[in-house]
Amino acid sequence: MSEKKHPDNKERVGVYVCHCGTNISKVVDVEEVARWAGEQPNVEVSRDYKFMCSSLGQELIEQDIKEKGLTRVVCASCSPHMHEKTFRTACERGGLNPFLFEMTNIREHDSWITDDKEAATIKAKSLVRGSIDRVVHHEPLDQIPVEINPNTLVVGGGIAGITSALELADAGYHVYLVEREPSIGGHMAQLDKTFPTLDCSACILTPKMVDVGQHDNITLLTWSEVEQVDGFLGNFTITVRKKARYVNEEHCTGCGICIEKCPFNVVDDIFEAGMGTRKVIYRPFPQAVPKYPVIDKENCVYFQKGKCKACEIFCPTEPNSIDFEQEDEILQIEVGNIILATGYDLFDVKRIPQYGYGKLENVFTSLEFERMVNAAGPTDGKIVLRDQETKPKSVAIVHCVGSRDENYHKYCSKVCCMYSLKFAHLVHERIPDAEIYDCYIDMRTPGKGYEEFYNRLLEEGTHFIRGKVAEITDAARIPEEEGKLIVQVEDTLIGRQRRVPVDMVILSPAMEAREGSKEVSQLFKMGCDFDGFFIERHPKLDPVATMTDGILIAGACQGPKDVPESVSQGAAAAARVAGLISRGTVMMEPVRASIDQDACSGCRICNNMCPYNAIIFHEEENVSEVITALCQGCGTCVAACPSSVITGAHFTNDQLLSQIEGILWDMRPEKVTA
Amino acid sequence: MSEKYEPVIVGFLCNWCSYRAADLAGTARIQYAPNLRAIRVMCSGRVDPQFVLKALRDGADGVMIAGCHPGECHYVNGNIKTMRRFMLLQKMLTQLGIEEERVQLVWASASEGIVLAEKIDQMTEALRTLGPLNWKKRVLNSGNGYQAAEAIPVLEEA
Amino acid sequence: MANNEKPKLAMYWSSSCGGCEISVLNIHEHILTVDEVFDVAFFPCIADFKTKDVEAYPDDYITVCLWNGAIRNAENEEMAHLLRKKSMFMVAYGSCAYEGCIPALSNLTSKEATYNTVYKDNPSLDNPDGIIPKTSVKVAEGELTIPEFYHTVKSLDQVVDVDYYLPGCPPEPPQIWAVLQVIVGALLEGTPLPPKGSIVGVTNVAVCEECDLEKNEKVISRFYRPYEIVPEPGICLLDQGIMCMGPATRGGCEALCPSVGMGCRGCYGPMPGVEDQGAKMLSAVASVIGAGNENMEEAEIEAEIQAVVDTIADPAGTFYRFSMAHSLLQRAKVNGSNGKGEA
């Protein structure tokens, strides 16, 4: 510890250098940094301590504030993303405004990136000096209270969104659930069985869907899309386009006669994955929620040719529920929080031409197979080849289609091993004498009951081939291959290339981010990664929050996930929102911009800097103003202002320029020898 | 010069992507040049060109501005504004005789610790090749412009 | 100064164009008041004074010295020190004295390059032997010396202590009168002086406030040099892509230049709180470049921005036209070592 008082000091700064066990101290000479810090201008006291984040470490700060009258505190330890809040709170307990604290990162940015002790110690000193010089210019700030509107928007009616909506609605809060398809249910509604329990997917999902449809606290907006998002945590205004169904929801009883009478069938590319057909006026599936059908305008003969109206003619309701004049509705809803549960797309297997999908008719995708094995599906649950009748005697299942692949997605799609195993099981169950080849790179079965399920498949006699499939072809080389699909794969366990002739191939494509997820992330002003998945606030500790306050994410829009994980996230996001609502008011970081109205010349450079439209121009007074509640604190306008009359609280020019000077303390001419 | 020259880089890292990338590089124990001294800003869009000039004047051999990739900015498009400023600043710095390598704009998402570490290594190497800038001593206080440090008496700070 | 004596006025020019001297006459009939109030102690432009006359004055003999011009050579600096010593109030008069102005733009190049341009490469020059000035030359009669030509042009306050600043190229009459009034008032009536270091006769709001042109949100997709465009009347010049330093420049001039269709050049210097006028203007201008958005590929964004940046021919000369000597970097790095570090 070092104590030294400068008579001309403007502030009394306490500097605390953390050993972090040995995480910092094994590379950085923390005692030396603390000793040296004591000699720096404005420093009243400097100490080093084993664990600053421990309660004893925090008490050191509190005590010094009280006993030594510290006016500023610097803690050199880990990343501010780790413990800034901890130390701010400690300062507050000591009676110091939390914003009079500055954190120096000498662990992640220093001791962990080098073993050069001398360089690391010099760097630590520079960073500490930067913080000392910066903190002297800090100003006490008050957090900004924001009232939370108790209504919540949930975007996406898959299992994650359904869970979020029900959790919140059951807690007594109102939810707007927006789904772009005519029914909620999402991908889960298309699945036959869920692994590893082999529950009937629809049987466990539909009760929840019905709950959503009937819940007093849920406004269900299907066949609707969010068009605009304004506002901020606590007070968002959402513009929703409710697309015309051409069916009047007030009058329609959902009897389904219109569907029955509609004379036209079209291929159902969405729900039936192209395996079946639907009518032009349709419900995606029998258990759809809501029950109201929708007219597919593109394929409707009345809309295209002006004749037919069979649906209208046969509609039994009074007044008639068919409304060809219906138009899109634009709704504005006010919510306090938003949960995004927009789900995933499946990788387009046509992108891997050597797997033959689309060219070789008996190559199926996982979703096609799901529909095929579903008792309510196009083949009534029979596993047959594309000819709709021949039972395959041999089936190959190909893992990692588009995932774990440098050319497509590098990530592991996480659920494919398990659903591939489920497919193998279903084939065994329906065609007991079929030979099943399961081609995998690595078998990934981490989850409750998952490894056991794999063992079950081993016992059921599935042939597991460890290797990435190179090609699927119908070009036979030997008589046994004639008329078959040949799966070319290197079996890495026996170290040989194999050609496996089969009747049917099922591709297990990766889950990938929704097409247009980038646009969605921009609409909601939050981040998405290279793959298009939304970025969580912290990958470990905050997986359902995003960097944007008030916007949460749940389910596969954040990354590949199975049903239980999506459900957990849906519930977690709801719990987070419920917590905010029950508090009523939340405190926001006061890192905001403000314009000195007396000094603003009205040049209007800043006017279109703000992505949140927080800057408005007053014609009369000829000045610009930042609406504090809309400002997110990025500081772009502060940097742009040619007059320097915009101040970015907690990131002021004085603070940053002083930090630059401090961080370069050893580069001043009189100190440079080189 | 007798002592080994170690370049000093001032880094302006955005809170959401590149600062986290640097955190991740540390957490993953990626070993890279300890030559970058980071200053956290909320967005690369907060980086006032004055900060860059100030750092160069005050002794930095180089300045790195790091942000989220275009299209991935936490503040939608702050980094696009950074690009605009950076490109015009580069043009002006060239007029002031400052080599392009000394002021760099890089992108690193929160998951790209390794990318940021590589960029810092590369920049450090580039500055090693260029040699020290040492603006005040070599440029401002020299009678005859930029010269080898040994030839110039050290004057008081302006 | 004895009570019955008039205050003494000095005006000296160093490295400047001479416009500042003339600008004193712009105060019109007030010049008679000046004459009435002051004794002229040193004013080489209008009367024959010698340096030795000044040297002979006691310290602080001169009440107010209006110094115009930058510090370009040893003589400038020597005179600055001398007049500082002999004057109670040293006023940096005009942009050159305040922050370097046009002479300081030569800081973008080297002394050698300046000599080459002036004494060797100039097409109208007749200098077959390539003679360039030397501080000392031996001739038959003895040694001849001239003041050293400096490598770096400095502002007045970079060599001596300055009491007040009067920016402008040249300063406007109300300012000139204001500074004289302030000093006369203090001397004769005991009114309080503004704090040392004050910039006199300016406002604390940028030029735009005084400019009547209609300003809109700015999206600039190309910049025009003055000869490339006839500005549309009534509309903010910057909005039209005509470089105007108004947003980054202190007001007080009543927006003279923009009001006649010429972009503000920035002669009143930076706003208070700005460290570097050029960098701030650069930042502002770049910020409103209407190119690149978050939905485009990086290369595409770069190409679009580059196209706009290419229309700004000389950023350093444009943004630092007046403030080079006061800028953070102050000059360019130029030398024979090609920036490779060791010479």
Shortest distance between the Cα of A524 and any Cα of chain C, in A, equals 14
Q: How far is CA A343 from the centre of its chain?
A: 9
Query: Using a CB-CB distance cutoff of 8 angstroms, which residues of chain B are in contact with residue A526?
Result: 74
Residue with tokens 């010349």: A601
- Do A345 and A513 touch, CB atoms closer than 8 A? yes
Q: Is the pLDDT of residue A629 over 90?
A: no
Q: Decide if A537 touches B, using CB distance below 8 A.
A: no
Query: What is the ipTM score, two decimals?
Result: 0.93
Mean pLDDT across chain B, nearest whole number?
87
* CA distance between the termini of chain A: 32
The span from the CA of A110 to the CA of A35, in Å, is 19
- Rounded to an integer, the average pLDDT of A546-572 is 94
> What residues contact residue A634 under an 8 Å CB cut-off, 6+ apart?
A611, B42, B43, B45, B46, B74, B75, B78
- Point out the residue among C111, C158, C294 whose CB comes nearest to the CB of B73: C294
Query: Using a CB-CB distance cutoff of 8 angstroms, which residues of chain C are in contact with residue A518?
Result: 295
The span from the CA of B74 to the CA of C20, in Å, is 51
> What residues contact residue A121 under an 8 Å CB cut-off, 6+ apart?
A28, A29, A32, A33
Cβ contact, residue pair B26, A79, below 8 Å: yes
Cβ contact, residue pair C316, B95, below 8 Å: yes
- Point out the residue among C204, C217, C281 whose CB comes nearest to the CB of A604: C217
Cβ contact, residue pair C247, A642, below 8 Å: yes
Substitution target in B20, B75, B119, B121 with the highest count of A β-carbons within 10 Å is B75
- Do A138 and A99 touch, CB atoms closer than 8 A? yes
Query: Using a CB-CB distance cutoff of 8 angstroms, which residues of chain A are in contact with residue C246?
Result: 601, 603
How big is the CA angle at C331 (ends C327 and C335), to the nearest 5 degrees?
A: 165
Q: Would residue A113 be called left, alpha or beta, if left means φ above 0 and alpha means ψ between -120 and 50 degrees?
A: alpha
Query: What are the CA-CA distances from residue A599 to residues A7, B72, C251, C252 (Å)?
Result: 36, 34, 11, 13
Q: Decide if A108 touches B, using CB distance below 8 A.
A: yes
Phi and psi for A434 in degrees, rounded to 5?
-75, 145
Shortest distance between the Cα of A670 and any Cα of chain B, in A, equals 7
pLDDT at A1: 53
Which residues partner with C212 through β-bridges? none
Convert the pLDDT of each residue in A476-515 to its tens digit: 999 999 999 999 999 999 999 999 999 999 999 999 999 9
- Pick the most confident of A86-100, A583-597, C105-119, C167-181: A86-100
Assign A301 to helix, strand or coil.
Answer: helix
Substitution target in B35, B46, B52, B140 with the highest count of A β-carbons within 10 Å is B46
- Do A38 and A45 touch, CB atoms closer than 8 A? yes
Q: Decide if C341 touches A, using CB distance below 8 A.
A: no
Contacting subunits of C (3+ beta carbon pairs below 8 A): A, B
pLDDT at C1: 46
DSSP state of B101: G
Q: In chain C, positions 73-132, which contact chain B (CB-CB < 8 Å)?
A: 108, 110-111
Q: Decide if C295 touches A, using CB distance below 8 A.
A: yes
Q: Crossing angle of helices C173-184/C30-37, nearest 10°?
A: 30
Assign C103 to helix, strand or coil.
Answer: helix
Convert the pLDDT of each residue in B61-103 to its tens digit: 999 999 999 987 888 899 999 999 999 999 999 999 999 999 9
Q: Which of A459-463, A660-664, C246-250, C339-343 has the lowest mean pLDDT?
A: C339-343
Beta strand C149-154 pairing with C142-145:
unpaired
Substitution target in B4, B40, B139 with the highest count of A β-carbons within 10 Å is B40
Contacting subunits of A (3+ beta carbon pairs below 8 A): B, C
Q: Decide if C293 touches A, using CB distance below 8 A.
A: no
pLDDT at A20: 96
Cβ contact, residue pair C287, B158, below 8 Å: no
Q: Decide if C94 touches A, using CB distance below 8 A.
A: no
Single-letter amino acid code for the residue at C82: L
pLDDT at C186: 86
Query: Using a CB-CB distance cutoff of 8 angstroms, which residues of chain A are in contact with residue C295?
Result: 518, 522
- Point out the residue among C248, C272, C275 whose CB comes nearest to the CB of A642: C248
Cβ contact, residue pair A634, B50, below 8 Å: no
Convert the pLDDT of each residue in A110-119 to its tens digit: 999 999 999 9
Q: Which two tokens stand for residue C128?
A: 């077959």
How big is the CA angle at A511 (ends A506 and A512), to the nearest 5 degrees?
A: 135
The span from the CA of A60 to the CA of A51, in Å, is 11
Cβ contact, residue pair B71, C339, below 8 Å: no
pLDDT at A437: 97
Single-letter amino acid code for the residue at A626: V
Cβ contact, residue pair C284, A636, below 8 Å: no
**Chains A, B: CB pairs < 8 Å:** 171
Q: Is the pLDDT of residue A2 over 80?
A: no
Can you state the percent helix, strand and coil of chain A, rounding each to 5? Answer: 30, 25, 45
Mean pLDDT across chain A, nearest whole number?
94
How big is the CA angle at A401 (ends A399 and A402), to the nearest 5 degrees?
A: 145
Convert the pLDDT of each residue in A252-267 to its tens digit: 999 999 999 999 999 9
Closest listed residue to residue A497, CA positions, set A477, A474, A469, A464: A469
How big is the CA angle at C201 (ends C197 and C202), to the nearest 5 degrees?
A: 85
Query: Using a CB-CB distance cutoff of 8 angstroms, which residues of chain A are in contact with residue B37?
Result: 123, 126-127, 130, 663-664
Cβ contact, residue pair C333, B96, below 8 Å: yes
Q: Decide if C263 touches A, using CB distance below 8 A.
A: no
Q: Is the pLDDT of residue B148 over 70?
A: no
Query: Using a CB-CB distance cutoff of 8 angstroms, which residues of chain A are in contact with residue B136?
Result: 668-669
Q: Is the pLDDT of residue A346 over 70?
A: yes
- Pick the most confident of A64-68, A81-85, A626-630, B112-116: A64-68
- Point out the residue among A527, A663, A668 whose CB comes nearest to the CB of B10: A663
Cβ contact, residue pair B22, A108, below 8 Å: yes
The band of B143, judged by pLDDT with boundaries at 50, 70 and 90, is low
3-state secondary structure C274-340: CCCHHHHHHHHHHHCECCCCCCCCHHHHHHHHHHHHCCCCCHHHHHCCCCCCCCCCCCCCCCCCCCC
Assign B81 to helix, strand or coil.
Answer: helix
Query: What are the CA-CA distances from residue A137 to residues A599, A650, C212 (Å)?
Result: 21, 9, 37
- Rounded to an integer, the average pLDDT of A184-191 is 95
Enumerate residue ranges in chain C where pLDDT < 70: 1-4, 335-343
Shortest distance between the Cα of C34 and any Cα of chain B, in A, equals 36
Single-letter amino acid code for the residue at B53: L
Q: Which two tokens stand for residue C323?
A: 């403030």
Q: Which two tokens stand for residue A432?
A: 């007991």
Single-letter amino acid code for the residue at C269: G
Query: Using a CB-CB distance cutoff of 8 angstroms, which residues of chain C are in contact with residue A601?
Result: 205-209, 246-247, 251
Q: Would residue A331 be called left, alpha or beta, if left means φ above 0 and alpha means ψ between -120 and 50 degrees?
A: beta
Residue with tokens 């009258």: A69
Assign C252 to helix, strand or coil.
Answer: coil
Query: Using a CB-CB distance cutoff of 8 angstroms, which residues of chain A are in contact with residue B83?
Result: none
**How many CB atoms are closer than 10 A to CB A451?**
14
Q: Decide if A555 touches B, using CB distance below 8 A.
A: no
Closest listed residue to residue A589, CA positions, set A121, A145, A20, A161: A145
Q: Is the pLDDT of residue B147 over 70?
A: no
In this predicted model, which residue has the larger pLDDT, A177 or C191?
A: A177
Q: Decide if B42 touches A, using CB distance below 8 A.
A: yes
DSSP state of A42: T
Residue with tokens 């917590």: A579
- Point out the residue among B30, B50, B59 whose CB comes nearest to the CB of A667: B59
Exposure string of B123-143, with b = 16+ CB inside 10 Å and e = fewer, is bbebbbebbbbbbbbbbbbbe
The span from the CA of A357 to the CA of A353, in Å, is 7
Exposure string of A566-575, with b = 16+ CB inside 10 Å and e = fewer, is bbbbbbbbbe
The span from the CA of A650 to the CA of A656, in Å, is 9
pLDDT at B73: 85
The band of A6, judged by pLDDT with boundaries at 50, 70 and 90, is low
C-alpha dihedral, A317 to A323 to A329 to A335, nearest 10°: 20
The span from the CA of A429 to the CA of A436, in Å, is 12
pLDDT at C3: 53
Residue with tokens 């520079």: A126
Query: Using a CB-CB distance cutoff of 8 angstroms, which residues of chain C are in contact with residue B128?
Result: none
How big is the CA angle at C20 (ends C19 and C24), to the nearest 5 degrees?
A: 115
Substitution target in A548, A645, A660, A672 with the highest count of B β-carbons within 10 Å is A660
Shortest distance between the Cα of C46 and any Cα of chain A, in A, equals 39
Q: Which of A145-149, B78-82, B111-115 has the lowest mean pLDDT?
A: B111-115
Contacting subunits of B (3+ beta carbon pairs below 8 A): A, C
How big is the CA angle at C232 (ends C226 and C235), to the nearest 5 degrees?
A: 105
The band of A7, judged by pLDDT with boundaries at 50, 70 and 90, is low
Convert the pLDDT of each residue in A358-407 to its tens digit: 999 999 999 999 999 998 889 999 999 999 999 999 999 999 999 999 99
pLDDT at A452: 96
Query: Using a CB-CB distance cutoff of 8 angstroms, which residues of chain C are in contact with residue B73?
Result: 294
Chain A residue with Cα closest to C245: A642
Q: Which two tokens stand for residue C332?
A: 């360019």
Phi and psi for A323 in degrees, rounded to 5?
-135, 95
Assign A396 to helix, strand or coil.
Answer: strand
Cβ contact, residue pair A673, B37, below 8 Å: no
Q: Decide if A599 touches B, using CB distance below 8 A.
A: no
pLDDT at B3: 63
DSSP string, A621-655: TTEEEE-TTT-----HHHHH-TT--EEETTS-HHH
